[in-house]
Amino acid sequence: MDSSLSDVKHVYEEPPLLGNTIKVAPGVFWLRMPLPFKLDHINLWLLEDNDDEGCGWTIVDTGIDTVEVRNAWKQILEERINDQKPLKRVIVTHYHPDHFGLAGWLTQLLNVPLWMPRKEWTQACLLRQQTGANSKEEFLAFYHSVGFDDVMLNKAKGRPGRYSKLISRPPASFIRIIEGQELVINGRKWRSIIGAGHSPEHLCLYSAELDVLISGDQVLPKITPNISVWPQEPQANPLSLFLKSLNKLRGLGPKTLVLPSHKLPFYGLDRRINELQEHHHERLCRTFEICSNPSNGAEVMRQLFNRKLDTHQIFFAIGETLAHLHFLLENGKLVRKKDANGVFVYHHN
């Protein structure tokens, strides 16, 4: 969701055109693919991967599974990736469909392995199995408990099974990436830094030699990563995990070039981390203030997000609202109880 404008320094004024690339560091190329949402794009990364066995490429993140994105990849494959310089692997930062969407298609098409953290792969596989038939009642119960009215509950009926429509069939196996692992790509070491909150084991990759951080969605310029409570884990406290894991990225240095999944590459990582933490502190204070009058999640959401939201944004907004409520709940600042209708109401302790 939007946050206050950041003071980070952007390196480029314009992104690459669809199907084209921009070189952002030695052996590192920037791609951009469209998304069918208000946040209408994702940045992907194509890394040269030359070694003793020959020249090649590594892809970091894949885009959502649409005809437009598949066609853009086909253009890139025709122009860049061939028998002389083949694809060696696909790396995915986390399970969200704009990142994982075409992982199965690309790995099967080019017969290469998928690399990603285990919890992310597992979550992708589990969500692909979720349908309206096997989870609609749980979804409706969850969104009823947050205070959604009949109109929004009717929209919630269409939420189960959406994930499977946005991704290709996941590969049956993968290579696990863990915290602190060093991946050698193009003769350079990229250290894995695992975050949390936005997703279970969000992968960031840092090259000290290039002083480049592929941050995925963990740190974005100008907008805040979505930190949400979802029906699959209704008692989660993702904001606590997110704020703690941000500190893993501190101290890489002011000259670190950050390659985010949305918006433009930038410098000023520590400053942006400070801004993100300050943003959530302000939201927590505002959430606490709202709950001086006992309120359910939907009522808090309408005051936190006092602007017009489309249906897609509303489900992200209620997830973020619950993330702030649960943080305050677990830290003893709020208590909650169910009212006569089975809706959770939050108020000061």
Blockwise average pLDDT, block size 10, the chain, 349 residues: 63 93 97 94 97 92 97 93 92 98 98 98 95 87 97 92 94 97 97 98 98 98 96 97 96 93 97 97 98 98 93 95 98 97 97
Q: Which helix (H) or strand (E) holds 336?
A: strand 334-338
Containing structural domain, residue 126: 9-289
Q: Token digits for 313?
A: 């944004």
Q: How many CB atoms lie within 10 A of CB 302?
A: 17
345 occurs within a structural domain: no
Region of 39 on the Ramachandran plot (φ > 0 left; ψ -120 to 50 alpha; else beta): beta
Specify the length of the chain in residues: 349
Tell whether 1 is covered by a domain. no
Could you tell me if residue 238 is inside a domain? Answer: yes
φ/ψ of 311, rounded to 5, equals -60, -45
In a domain, 55, yes or no: yes
228 lies in some domain: yes
Which residues partner with 28 through β-bridges? 25, 47
Residue with tokens 């400053």: 271
CA torsion 22-23-29-32 (nearest 10°) is -20
Stated pTM of the model: 0.95
Contact 304, 286 (CB under 8 A): yes
Question: Would you state the pLDDT for residue 33?
Answer: 98
| pLDDT at residue 306 in the model | 87
Residues 6+ apart with CB under 8 A from 46: 21, 28, 29, 30, 31, 57, 58, 59, 60, 76, 80
Q: Does residue 340 belong to any structural domain of this protein?
A: no
C-alpha 287/C-alpha 14 separation (Å) is 36
- Spatial distance between the Cα atoms of 30 and 259, rounded to a whole number of angstroms: 9
> Is residue 325 domain-resident?
no
Q: What is the CATH classification number for the domain harbouring 211?
A: 3.60.15.10
**What's the token pair of residue 109?**
């098409």
Radius of gyration of the chain (CA): 21
Q: What is the pLDDT of residue 253?
A: 82
Half-sphere exposure of 244 (CA within 13 A, CB side): 9
Q: What's the CA gap between 195 and 212, in Å, rounded? A: 17
> β-strand 188-195 against 202-207: which pairing, if any?
antiparallel
Q: Is residue 102 part of a domain?
A: yes
What's the structural domain count of the chain?
Answer: 1
Are the beta carbons of 283 and 227 closer than 8 angstroms?
no
